[in-house]
Structure 1
């Protein structure tokens, strides 16, 4: 698989989320990209990788895939009830 790089915004978002009680490590984010529960393709070659974070939340990682690597643009937690369809 391609190398995964984090934008400055994505790195700062990890810190912002930690300040709000959502602690994420880069390994979990990378695992979300490599082994997602769900993938959504968007315009402009963007992809959202989604994975269960806990009983109530999913992690959504917005990336852009270029020829040499995958760039993590941003990431955010979302309510499972909104993003998971049963």
Structure 2
């Protein structure tokens, strides 16, 4: 498993936008979600979506590509637990 994590310009911008809306997210939090997710889904173009709860009602989802030498973060977005934590 690659240890290097690289962030796209879009993902860095998204982190700043989420912060401006009062959502506590940072590069370190995103890296922790990739390394220790509560759940991983496969999304569009076989990209991985790592997910972890960040408050009582929401999860934070990280879309990334797992490449041989690194993980490449495409985007980050919050979601409602009720939508993404169905059994």
TM-score by length of 1: 0.93
Q: Which aligned runs of 4 or more in structure 1 are off by greater than 2 angstroms?
A: 42-45
Number of matched pairs: 86
1:41-56 matched pairs, under 5 angstroms? 41-56=42-57
Shift of 1:43: 4.3
Tell whether 2:75 aligns with 1:83.
Answer: no
| C-alpha distance in structure 2 between counterparts of 1:14 and 1:43, whole Å | 21
Check conservation: 1:56, 1:80, Cα contact below 8 A.
yes
Q: Compute the RMSD of aligned alpha carbons.
A: 1.1
1:5-20 matched pairs, under 5 angstroms? 5-20=6-21
In the alignment, what sits opposite 1:32?
33
Q: Taking structure 1 as reference, are residues 53 and 7 closer, same or farther at Cα in structure 2, changes over 3 Å only?
A: same
| C-alpha distance in structure 1 between counterparts of 2:44 and 2:29, whole Å | 25
| C-alpha distance in structure 2 between counterparts of 1:57 and 1:39, whole Å | 16
In the alignment, what sits opposite 1:70?
71
Tell whether 2:62 aligns with 1:57.
Answer: no
Shift of 1:45: 3.1
Which moves more between the two structures, 19-28 or 48-57?
Answer: 19-28
